[in-house]
């Protein structure tokens, strides 16, 4: 296969900026060398071009190459309810989200939504996503088939619930076990697909259902686990009523062995210090979804407390409570909300890039998210549209880091020129 050398301004965060001062790598006249779907080198154009005289050069000067975005929390059935503003979590679920989730009983409708969803990810530069699925097996079969042919790196699973939602969304623990195992055997570790065990949240699951989740995880250790945690104060109080034996919300999942390095827990807005310490010790990742937190009025995410406790954090759009698929907007919103927090964390462009790329890849165990040699060549080409404000800023940007901040501030789907996974355009 031909080695391809892409010449552009290149950004990546191969190191964690929450722990290391110089985490950002930026090359104003940079290059990404791709061979057989993998990154072979990343650095200054002249050095890489001289060392690889036979590589096929793609001159993309004026464009920016970033690692593909990794969305660690997003719901595929909720594409068409984006923009249902005005309610807190439990009312929004009742009036907007759950009725649409129920429509996924129609597999042909679910397939249509799956296509809209996957196409939206690619158009926004998202190459990898951990996706909350539907409550219905035929809908999940359709979703995995579409995900497999999309070329994207997707982890997802059947959503499990046996109480407190609409009855049509409930299943029994026995059926949940059988159906999950069938989906796992058909789709897990096939191509770029990974299966994720997905109880909706503690409030909608009995002890017996969470015990089924434990069994499924134990039988296939390479699975991922995802659910919601400490999103909204009413939800936290309701969970305390449903699980009187639990010392706090996290303890519910801990009792069933569901909190570990392969677990991604969305939100965690209302976390105690004890929960943060236990999350850090477990190696689990919190999917921070700042647009959703603001839209539903869930609260201000205590990022500083998470960082000081050592909890891993990545970023998620939480469509459809979130207002869209744009991980640049999500990064900007994280920055803005930390500015408003009493004890807010001072996020830099390097933090935003890390949260939107490598942090998510680490959470999902994906060999992607930066441009270290040997990584999958998952990247996004960004170019300021002609006449755009981003283009105006680009003419004046005095440093690559300043430009990266402008990309997060002004970029969006209209500036995503192309999206690549494993060296192939999707």
Residues contributing to the site for Zn ion (CB under 5 A): 266, 318
Q: Which two tokens stand for residue 365?
A: 């165990």
Phi-psi bin for 368: left (phi > 0), alpha (psi -120 to 50), beta? beta
Residue whose CB is less far from Zn ion, 97 or 302: 97
Residue whose CB is less far from Zn ion, 146 or 318: 318
Tell the smallest beta-carbon distance from residue 304 to Zn ion (Å): 23
H-run or E-run covering 65: strand 56-67
Distance, in Å, from the CA atom of 226 to the CA atom of 7, rounded to the nearest integer, reads 38
Tell the smallest beta-carbon distance from residue 233 to Zn ion (Å): 16
Tell the smallest beta-carbon distance from residue 89 to Zn ion (Å): 9
Residue whose CB is less far from Zn ion, 122 or 319: 319
Residue whose CB is less far from Zn ion, 266 or 355: 266
DSSP designation for 205:
-
Tell the smallest beta-carbon distance from residue 322 to Zn ion (Å): 8
CA atoms within 13 A on the CB side of 104: 33
How far, CA to CA in Å, does 424 sit from each of 127, 152, 418, 421?
11, 10, 10, 5
Residue whose CB is less far from Zn ion, 318 or 370: 318
Please identify the residue of the shown chain whose CB is closest to the bound Zn ion. 318
First to last CA, the chain: 19
Strand partners, 195: 156
Which string of b and e fits 311-344 if b means at least 16 CB within 10 Å?
Answer: bbbbbbbbbbbbbbbbbbbbbbbbbebbeeeeeb
> Residue 230: is the preceding peptide bond cis (ω within 30°)?
no
Tell the smallest beta-carbon distance from residue 266 to Zn ion (Å): 5
Tell the smallest beta-carbon distance from residue 61 to Zn ion (Å): 40
Residue whose CB is less far from Zn ion, 201 or 335: 201
Distance, in Å, from the CA atom of 161 to the CA atom of 404, rounded to the nearest integer, reads 41
Tell the smallest beta-carbon distance from residue 295 to Zn ion (Å): 12
Residue whose CB is less far from Zn ion, 176 or 266: 266
């Amino acid at each position: 296969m031909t080695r391809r050398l892409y010449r552009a301004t290149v950004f990546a965060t191969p190191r964690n900026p929450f722990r290391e001062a110089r985490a950002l790598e930026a090359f104003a006249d940079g290059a990404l060398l791709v061979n057989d779907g993998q990154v072979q080198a990343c650095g200054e154009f002249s050095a890489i071009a001289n060392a690889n005289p036979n590589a096929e050069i793609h001159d993309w000067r004026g464009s920016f190459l970033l690692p593909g975005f990794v969305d660690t929390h997003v719901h595929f059935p909720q594409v068409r309810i984006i923009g249902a503003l005005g309610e807190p979590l439990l009312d929004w679920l009742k009036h907007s989200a759950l009725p649409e989730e129920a429509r996924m009983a129609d597999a042909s409708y679910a397939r249509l939504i799956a296509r809209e969803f996957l196409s939206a990810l690619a158009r926004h530069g998202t190459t990898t996503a951990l996706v909350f699925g539907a409550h219905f097996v035929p809908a999940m079969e359709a979703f995995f088939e579409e995900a497999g042919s999309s070329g994207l790196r997707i982890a997802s699973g059947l959503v499990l619930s046996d109480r407190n939602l609409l009855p049509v969304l409930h299943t029994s623990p026995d059926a949940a076990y059988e159906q999950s195992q069938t989906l796992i055997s058909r789709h897990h570790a096939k191509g770029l697909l990974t299966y994720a065990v997905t109880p909706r949240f503690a409030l909608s699951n009995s002890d017996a259902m969470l015990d089924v989740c434990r069994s499924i995880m134990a039988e296939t250790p390479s699975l991922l686990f995802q659910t919601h945690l400490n999103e909204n104060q009413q939800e936290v109080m309701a969970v305390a009523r449903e699980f009187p034996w639990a010392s706090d919300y996290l303890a519910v999942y801990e009792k069933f062995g569901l909190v570990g390095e392969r677990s991604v827990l969305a939100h965690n807005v209302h976390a105690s210090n004890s929960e943060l310490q236990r999350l850090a010790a477990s190696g689990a990742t919190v999917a921070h979804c700042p647009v959703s937190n603001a839209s539903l009025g869930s609260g201000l995410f205590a990022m500083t407390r998470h960082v000081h406790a050592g909890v891993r954090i990545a970023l998620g759009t939480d469509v459809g409570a979130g207002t869209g698929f744009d991980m640049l907007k999500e990064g900007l919103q994280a920055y803005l909300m930390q500015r408003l927090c009493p004890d807010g964390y001072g996020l830099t462009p390097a933090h935003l890039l890390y949260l939107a790329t490598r942090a998510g890849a680490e959470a999902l165990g994906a060999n992607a998210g930066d441009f270290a040699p040997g990584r999958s060549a998952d990247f996004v080409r960004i170019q300021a549209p002609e006449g755009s404000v981003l283009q105006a800023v680009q003419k004046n940007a005095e440093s690559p880091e300043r430009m990266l901040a402008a990309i997060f501030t002004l970029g969006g789907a209209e500036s995503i020129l192309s999206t690549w996974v494993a060296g192939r355009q999707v």
